[in-house]
Amino acid sequence: MFSPIKNTKLYEQVIEQIKDMIAKGILKKGDKLPSERELVDHLQVSRTSIREALRALQIMGLIECRQGEGNFISQSFEHSFFEPLSIMFMLQETNPEEIIEVRKVIEVETAAIAAKKITEEELESLEILIKAFKNSTDENDNVKIDKKFHYEIAQASRNFIILNILNAISSLIDSFIKDARKKILTDEKNREVLAMQHEEIYNALKKGDSKKAAEAMRKHLDFANEYMIK
């Protein structure tokens, strides 16, 4: 299962061995990792190196530490890219426009992919969100509904890498462009425009029309982005 480790940069090798077990299918999503003590025995490195490796995996969101229970491989990876992305974002002195540009780059094409893969159930769920958005006048609720609408379309693309990148981008938007989503929704007229645009996207997805779905998403994001950057 494990081989004892010899070289320098021990924590890297611990990670490599954990990765190797994942690659071989020995460790799967949700599985419990061996205890720190067991890892020390198996890999024959110091407890410090083991802990460094585990902490790094934890910070990246790839493993979870449950108090009194031990370390588990995460079930979902929503946090995995956010930490490095957010630190890099600040270091590069990136302007918020870049985040919004990335969101557009990914979501437009994702809508096109989703149009080919979306299920009846997923369409129904989008329909419910569209109605809820129209009926609610609470900005905070509408922010949540809007996020869910976009999230479900990304999910319908069946591409988990895209989904995870979009999650990270979404967290970046939330933390660096504070209240951006709320700003646009405080205006009654905007809410109507956005509701109409959501419907356009929905109709294109329902028809399985990739080109129209991409166009509708582009229009929608261009409209929303104007408020984000202001």
Q: Which two tokens stand for residue 77?
A: 């990876």
Query: Of 137 and 160, which CB lies nearer to its own copies in the complex structure?
Result: 160
Query: Which residues are CB-contacts of 169 (< 8 A; sequence separation ≥ 6)?
Result: 85, 99, 102, 103, 106
Between CA 221 and CA 200 the distance in angstroms is 13
Q: Provide, rounded to whole angstroms, the least separation between the CB of residue 81 and its own copies.
A: 6
Among 88, 128, 196, 229, binds its own copies (CB under 8 A): 88
Site for its own copies in 26-45 (CB under 8 A): 28-29
Q: Which residues contact 170 (CB under 8 A, 6 or more apart)?
A: 103, 147, 150, 151
Query: Nearest distance from residue 105's CB to its own copies, in Å?
Result: 4
Q: To the nearest 5 percent, what fractions of the chain are helix, strand and coil?
A: 70, 5, 25
Distance (Å, whole) CA 142 – CA 129: 10
Site for its own copies in 57-76 (CB under 8 A): 57-62, 73-74
What is the nearest approach in angstroms of its own copies to the Cβ of residue 39? 15
Query: Site map for its own copies, 134-153, x if CB under 8 A?
Result: --------------------
CA 38 distance to own-chain centroid: 33
Smallest gap, in angstroms, from Cβ of residue 6 to its own copies? 19
Helix (H, G, I), strand (E, B) or coil at 73: strand
23-43 burial: b if 16+ Cβ within 10 Å, else e: eeeebeeeeebbeeeebbebb
Contact flag: residue 50 with its own copies (CB under 8 A): no
Give the C-alpha separation, 107 to 162, whole Å.
9
Query: Is there binding between residue 221 and its own copies (CB under 8 A)?
Result: no
Residues 98 and 172: their CA atoms lie apart, in Å, by 11
| Residue from 80, 167, 170, 197 in contact with its own copies (CB under 8 A) | 80
Is 196 a residue that touches its own copies (CB under 8 A)? no
Considering the complex, state which of residue 86 and residue 125 has its C-beta at the smaller distance from its own copies.
Answer: 86
Rank residues 34 and 61 by Cβ distance to its own copies and give the closer one.
Answer: 61
Binding residues vs its own copies (CB under 8 A): 11-12, 15, 19, 22-23, 28-29, 48, 51-53, 55-62, 73-74, 77, 80-81, 83-92, 94, 98-99, 101-102, 104-106, 108-110, 113, 159-162, 164-165, 169
